[in-house]
Structure 1
Amino acid sequence: MKNTTPLLKVDSVGIQFGGLKAVSGVNIELFEGELAGLIGPNGAGKTTFFNLLTGVYVPTEGSISLSGEKLKNLAPYKITKKGISRTFQNIRLFGELSVIDNVKVAYHSLSRHTIAESIFRLPRHFSGESEMEEKALEFLKIFKLDGYKEEKAKNLPYGQQRRLEIARALAAQPKLLLLDEPAAGMNPQETRDLMELIGFIRKKFNLTVLLIEHDMPLVMGVCERIYVLDHGQLIASGSPEEVRSNPKVIEAYLGEEVS
C-alpha cells in the first residue's frame, strides 16, 4: 500500500530579494520513491527553489517539511543530516583531492568519531576512517569510478566528474536527492547512461529524486511527475502527458510544443 504522507511537503513557499519575488507561492509534494522533474525556461527560479530546499536561502514565506519535520531556518549542513542531498548545475568537486576522498568528505558529516578522537588518533578514529574508505569504494564501484580512486578529481573527464558528484551526494545517505541539470554538458550517450544509472540507484537505495533538466525528451521519458515553474511561480504539474499538452507550459516555452 502506497504511503499517502509526502516525504517532502512544500507549502506556499517563496522568497523575495528586495522588491523582486524570485519564487512565490510554490506548492509541491514528493512521495517516497518518486522520481519527479522540475522544468521551466531559463530564469524561472528552479535553482533558487533548490537553494530554498537545502537552506542556502531562507524562505520569506511558506514552509518546507521533510518527513513531517519543518526545515525552515536550519543551516544547510543540518538539512543534509536530515536527509536532503544535492548536486549543482556547475560541478563542485574538490579538484585537488582524490576521487575517493571526494566521496569520503560526505561521510565525515555522518561520522561517529569525535574531533578529539581524530586529533589524538584514538582507535575509534581509525575504525571510522576504515569504514568510510570501504563505503566510499562501494559507491565508486556502482558508478564505475573505482579504477580512478586515487586520481585527482579535476583530472577526470567531464562525464565522470558528474558521476562523482552524484556519488558524493549519495554518500550523505539522503532520503531525497536533488539533481540540478545532471546531464548538462554530456553527449547523448553519456546522458542515456546517466539516466539509466539514476533509475538504478533510485531503486537500489529507495531514493526520492527531484531533478532539474532542460533536455525535455529525457525528462518526459524518466519522470513520473513533472512540476513547471515560470517567473518563480508554479504554472503546471502532473504526468508527462498532462504537462506536454498544457497550454500554459507551451506558452512558457515560447509557443514551442514540449516533446
Structure 2
Amino acid sequence: MLLEVNGASRSFGGLKALSEVSLHIRKGELIGLIGPNGAGKTTLFNLLTGVYPPSTGRILLNGHSVGGMKPYRINRRGAARTFQNIRLFTAMTVLENVKIAFHQHAKHSMISSMLRLPKHFRGEEEITGKAMEMLRIFSLADQADERAGNLSYGNQRRLEIARALAAGPKLLLLDEPAAGMNPNETRDLMNLIAWIRREFSLSILLIEHDMSLVMGVCDRIYVLDRGMLIADGAPAEIRSNPKVIEAYLGQEA
C-alpha cells in the first residue's frame, strides 16, 4: 500500500475539521476526494503533506509514518502537491521554477557550488537538461525564459504540476487543478492527468469540484462531509449514493 490513513483527526481550538478519517491508495491508483465546501478536503491534504500534524491517527507513506513530519521531509519521502491557489515563484523564469524542484536531488554539494568547482557546473548542466525536458513534456519549453507570472492561467497550472513532478514523487496530490478553467481547458487537463499517471507510473489523489473530471479519470472516490468520510467507491457508486446526493443537494433531493 502506498498511502494509508488510519483514524486521522484534526482540531483547531474547539472546531473539529476532520474526524476519524481512514483511506488508502495503492500504487498506480488515481483517487478522487470530493465533498461540499468546508468538508475538510484541503485540511486532509495539509495533514498528508505536513502543513499540520494530525491531532490523532496515523499516516503511513510507503510503510513509513509521516504524520507530523516537516513538509520537505514528506516531499523527500515521495509526496508532492499542487495548491488550490497557484503558488509559483512568479518573479522567476519558468525554467528556474522547475530547476528548484530538481535541485533537492542534486549530486553536487554546496561546497562545490561555493567554490565553483567543475562538479558544480556539470551538475547544473544536468539539472537544466532535466528541467527543459520536463518543460517540453508540458509544452512549455518555448516559454522557458518567460517570467512565471506572465504565463496564462492554464499554463501556470501546467507549470505547477511540472514542478511537482520534478521532485520525483510516488504520490501526486492535486488540489482543485481545474479551478478557474473553461470547459476546453478542463477537458485538456483531464487528458493530461490520465497521461501523467501512465507516463510517470505514480499514484494521484485529486481534489476537484468539477464532477465530469472526477468521474472521467478516477478509479475510486472518497467523499467527505463536515470532516467525516461518508462514502467511498467506484464513480458509478458515488454518483448514485444517497448520502452523497444529500450532502451536495440537501435533504429534499
Alignment TM-score, normalising by the size of structure 1: 0.95
**Residue 255 of structure 1: how far off its partner (Å):** 3.5
**Residue 254 of structure 1: how far off its partner (Å):** 2.0
Cα distance in 1 between the residues matched to 2:5 and 2:119: 40
> 1:168-183, aligned counterparts within 5 Å?
168-183=163-178
Amino acid paired to 1:15: R
Residue 136 (1) aligns with residue 131 (2): yes
Residue 250 (1) aligns with residue 227 (2): no
Residue 114 (1) aligns with residue 114 (2): no
Cα distance in 2 between the residues matched to 1:93 and 1:197: 20
**Residue 257 of structure 1: how far off its partner (Å):** 11
Counterpart for residue 155 of structure 2: 160
Residue 92 (1) aligns with residue 87 (2): yes
> 1:142-153, aligned counterparts within 5 Å?
142-153=137-148
Counterpart for residue 224 of structure 1: 219
Residue 28 (1) aligns with residue 12 (2): no
Cα distance in 2 between the residues matched to 1:173 and 1:26: 27
Q: What does the per-residue CA deviation read over 1:155-184, in whole Å, with 9 as the maximum and x for residues that have no partner?
A: 000000000000000000000000000011
Cα distance in 1 between the residues matched to 2:250 and 2:220: 22
Counterpart for residue 73 of structure 1: 68
The structure 2 residue matched to 1:105, chosen from 84, 100, 106, is: 100
Cα distance in 2 between the residues matched to 1:207 and 1:138: 18
Structure 1 unaligned regions, length at least 5 = 1-5
SS in 2 for 1:220: helix
Cα distance in 1 between the residues matched to 2:166 and 2:58: 27
Contact 1:250 1:257 survives alignment (8 Å): no
Q: What does the per-residue CA deviation read over 1:178-202, in whole Å, with 9 as the maximum and x for residues that have no partner?
A: 0000011111111111110111111
Q: Count residues with an aligned counterpart.
A: 253
Cα distance in 2 between the residues matched to 1:185 and 1:125: 41
Counterpart for residue 207 of structure 1: 202
SS in 2 for 1:151: coil
**Residue 210 of structure 1: how far off its partner (Å):** 0.5
Cα distance in 1 between the residues matched to 2:21 and 2:252: 24
SS in 1 for 2:42: helix
SS in 1 for 2:249: coil
Amino acid paired to 2:207: I
**Residue 73 of structure 1: how far off its partner (Å):** 2.5
Counterparts in 2 of 1:129 and 1:244: CA distance versus 1, 3 Å: same
Counterpart for residue 191 of structure 2: 196
**Residue 128 of structure 1: how far off its partner (Å):** 1.2
Q: What does the per-residue CA deviation read over 1:52-92, in whole Å, with 9 as the maximum and x for residues that have no partner?
A: 00000000100101111110231100000000000000000
Cα distance in 2 between the residues matched to 1:141 and 1:24: 42
Amino acid paired to 2:36: P
Cα distance in 1 between the residues matched to 2:29 and 2:18: 23
Amino acid paired to 1:14: S
Q: What does the per-residue CA deviation read over 1:2-48, in whole Å, with 9 as the maximum and x for residues that have no partner?
A: xxxx1100000111111111111011100011011000000111011
SS in 1 for 2:87: coil
Contact 1:244 1:257 survives alignment (8 Å): no
Cα distance in 2 between the residues matched to 1:256 and 1:244: 16
> 1:48-59, aligned counterparts within 5 Å?
48-59=43-54
Cα distance in 1 between the residues matched to 2:67 and 2:123: 31
Counterpart for residue 3 of structure 1: none
Alignment TM-score, normalising by the size of structure 2: 0.97
CA RMSD after TM alignment: 1.3
Cα distance in 1 between the residues matched to 2:129 and 2:193: 22
